[in-house]
Amino acid sequence: MKTLFFIAHLFGEVKKDGDWYVSCCPPLDVYSQGKTKEEAINNLIEASTLFIESCIKRGTLDEVLRELGFEAYEKPVRGKERKIPKGTIPIEIPIPLLFNERARGNKCPA
């Protein structure tokens, strides 16, 4: 088995609420919190990663992303990627996948 990682480039927001920092990832509708801004961001990344992993394990990722408003579009030309909304922070969510070569049967003839 080999591990593959995809990185989802999303954005998040962090706001101070009393003694806590509340963080959210609007595209995934995922929220978290922390005692510091950094902790809130790290907790948001962890919560978002667990959300994506859970969807993959249940086989519902495509359906859930469509319900959240995602849609497929043609690959952007390098350098013309969509911009992160102003006032937000960029976050990267690693999406680990295992590739079982035996399950596929044939190997690449190259």
pLDDT digit string, tens, across residues 66-81: 999 988 777 665 665 6
Mean pLDDT, residues 39-67 taken together: 93
**Encoded amino acid at 14, one letter:** V
Provide the whole-model pTM: 0.75
Mean pLDDT, residues 22-35 taken together: 96
The CA-CA-CA angle for residues 43, 89, 61, to 5°, reads 60
